[in-house]
Amino acid sequence: MVRAHHLRDKIHIAVIGGNGFIGRNFIASVADQAHLRIWSLDYQHHNIHLQTKGSKAVIEQVLMDVSTPSVTTWLASRPMDVIVYAAGYESPTDGLGETIVDVKALQALVQTVNSYKSMRLVHEDDRLPYFLYLSSWSVYGENNVSISTEDDELVPANYTGMGKMYCEDVVKRIMTKLEVPWCILRPTEVYGKKHHKELRSSTFWPGYFHYYVDKVLKRQSEIEVFSPESKIDLIHVNYLSQVIVDCIVSKRTGVYNVSSGYSMTMRELVERIQEAYGERLSEIVPSNRLVIEDMTIEPGVVGNALPYNHARYSLTKFLDQYLPIRRLEIADDMTIEQIVTEPKLLDSTGTSAMDHYRLRRDKRELDYKEIREIAGPEQFKYIRYGRFQERARELLGYKETEELKDLSSQATSLIELFKTEAAQEIPNTFSPQTEKLKNSIKDASRGRKKRAKTKKGKDDNIT
């Protein structure tokens, strides 16, 4: 059981990289816990903000580059119970690309770990905050075993895997020396409803799942499937969030794999996406230009404690609900040239392609007309320019968003996990004198606003 060591206070959690895909979903999974105070430390260069509406926990976003010493000072100056490190960079290049981001990820971890050396404990029974580091299956690389376990040799095959291995070594050595309880999780590929800004940005590697989803939805004539016979294990981001919570609550220490225990080949993954889309417009082109290692790892201790619920996190069900939403998101990115050159629609004169384009354009105009009637011209102006896309979908009656939200809701077992007697909220009580003073300040403020409004009306009459 997690207990706040701050008298009459909440449990304090810092999430490094809290605005990232995994960080956001972890925070959302515990947002209904009123006993928590959560800080999300991220530099937000992708302009994605946490959704805190309706949250019972106190959630604060902190704009900060975590690869600089500023994170060391910030963490050391605040009382913490838990630090979750979810920052990182993924790359599919197998070591063929630049390594700057991998070095920066290592710098960020070092700065975070250094904060522990500067922390001052107020009471003798206080402890340094529990530390959880999110690593990756990529540390196993080419270890030449059918199913990897936590005790297997680490032979990373790319810069991402090497970076994660170095980071794990830093955590093990420094945290053990400082007598800090630490935990390392090695998840396989994580999927879920990603933010469209993440998927559109070249800074982020979307993962093989989202990479091939977009290939299918854009109806490319040929889809290059890298290492088609390599096996891939997918886990839903909400399951990983549940595992993180379990580790924090149970104070698990050591290294743990996180997987579903079920794997499919890259070819099977693309075929399943095509089946969910309903049409096989793209031809699968096998390619070994990019060698991908099998991500088959043993679920181990975590899998026994929290078995992966395949019925709850059904990949097929997720695809059925997610594809219509993702198709709507990328519709604006599909140019006329792409439509005209689609093999299924192209004929000698190109009339079929242009007819298809006109139908799509007319349907969009009809949608906008309907939105304008419902929302009114003023709100429509903002929707038209893409500022309230979610609202536009609601007005058009796209139910997939709500269904997907239900699918991605937190597990019921998370509800009671963070309850603690030592972290109850204290009601604010004021003396009669304080209440009287507060009311007089409010009355004075109302009077100023009223006088300003009256003065403005007189000035308008004069002109």
DSSP, residue by residue, 415-445: TTTT--GGG--------HHHHHHHHHHHHHH
- Helix or strand run (H / E) with residue 131: strand 130-134
* Opening angle at CA 422, ends 419 and 425, nearest 5: 80
**Chain centre to alpha carbon of residue 321:** 18
Q: How many domains does the chain have?
A: 1
Burial of 317 (0-12, 13-18, 19+ CB in 10 A): middle
302 Cβ contact list (under 8 Å, min separation 6): 185, 243, 246, 247, 256, 257, 258
Determine contact, residues 191/209, Cβ cutoff 8 Å. Answer: yes
Q: In the prediction, which pLDDT does 160 show?
A: 78
pLDDT value for 406: 40
Among left, alpha and beta (phi > 0; psi -120 to 50; other), residue 152 is: beta
Q: What is the dihedral of CA 17, 23, 28, 33, to 10 degrees?
A: -70
Number of other residues whose CB lies within 10 A of the CB of residue 192: 25
What's the confidence (pLDDT) of residue 415? 42
432 lies in a domain?
A: no
Q: Domain range spanning residue 162? A: 11-334+415-423
Residue 431 located in a structural domain: no
DSSP string spanning 29-71?
A: HTTT-TTEEEEEEE--TT------TT-SSEEEEEE--TTSTHH
Has residue 408 been placed in a domain? no
Q: Is residue 366 part of a domain?
A: no
pLDDT of residue 318: 92
pLDDT of residue 376: 65
Reduce the DSSP state of residue 449 to 3 states and report it. helix
For 389, the enclosing helix (H) or strand (E) is: helix 389-396
Query: How much is the pLDDT for 87?
Result: 87
Euclidean distance between CA atoms 32 and 410, whole angstroms: 10
**How many CB atoms within 10 Å of residue 282?**
21
Given a contact cutoff of 8 angstroms between Cβ atoms, the answer to whether 29 and 197 are in contact is no
Residue 104 domain-assigned (yes or no): yes
Domain-embedded: residue 140: yes
For the entire predicted model, the pTM comes to 0.71
The verdict on residue 176 lying in a domain is yes
Place of tokens 């005790």: 151
Q: Please report where in the chains the tokens 């088959």 appear, as a residue.
A: 296
**Residue 375 vs residues 171, 398, 429: alpha-carbon distances, Å:** 52, 15, 43
- Residue 122: CATH number of its domain: 3.40.50.720
- Give φ, ψ of 183 to 5 degrees: -145, 140
**Residue 226: inside a domain, yes or no?**
yes
Residue 147 CA from chain centroid, whole number = 27
Cα dist from 211 to 92, 218, 452, whole Å: 10, 11, 57
Element containing residue 13 per DSSP (H, E):
strand 11-16
List the pLDDT tens digit at each of the 463 positions of the chain. Answer: 344 455 446 889 999 988 888 999 999 999 988 889 999 998 765 667 777 777 888 898 888 888 888 888 899 888 889 999 998 765 544 444 444 555 677 888 888 998 998 887 666 567 889 999 999 988 888 766 778 888 888 888 777 788 888 889 999 999 999 999 999 999 999 999 888 777 777 667 788 899 999 889 888 888 989 889 989 999 999 999 999 999 999 999 999 999 999 999 999 999 999 999 887 778 888 888 777 888 888 888 999 999 999 999 999 999 988 888 888 777 655 544 454 444 444 344 445 555 655 666 666 666 666 666 666 665 555 554 444 555 555 555 555 433 444 444 444 444 444 444 333 333 444 456 556 666 666 666 566 556 666 655 655 555 4
Strands 11-16 and 82-85: parallel
